[in-house]
Amino acid sequence: MEASAGNHFLILFRDASCQFRAVYTMNPETEEMVRLTGVGPRVIAPEMVDSIYKYSSDRKQFTAIPSKTMSMSVDAFTIPGHFWQKRPGTPKKLGTPK
């Protein structure tokens, strides 16, 4: 994060349970979010955002806000489930011939 030119960082949650997945920074010209670290799409366009969250420091929790517009007041966001890649399962070992 120190090497990033960005000054506003956003957290990507897996879903409404607020499970951390990645940290992004927003490009103000394109409004795209670029992943700095973690698991998730490398670049997220504004139309990919499902819900957005604001952090309440007095309550120490994230609260969903009823907006679809990314701004400097947004602290975290989620994306729809179909943007998450399914991990391929570990292939089963076949019996070795003797």
pLDDT of residue 67: 80
pLDDT of residue 70: 78
pLDDT of residue 90: 64
Tens digits of residue pLDDT in 32-59 = 899 999 999 999 998 999 999 999 899 9
DSSP 19: -
Per-domain residue ranges for the chain?
9-83
- The DSSP string of 24-91 is EEE-TTT--EEEEEESS-SEE-GGG--EEEEEETTTTEEEEES-----TT--EEE--GGGSPPPPPPP
pTM of the entire structure?
A: 0.78
Query: Per CATH, the architecture of 9-83 is what?
Result: Roll (3.10)
CB 13 within 8 A of CB 78: yes
pLDDT of residue 11: 93
The dihedrals phi and psi of 83, each to the nearest 5 degrees, come to: -85, -10
Q: Predicted confidence band at 68 (pLDDT cuts at 50, 70, 90)?
A: confident
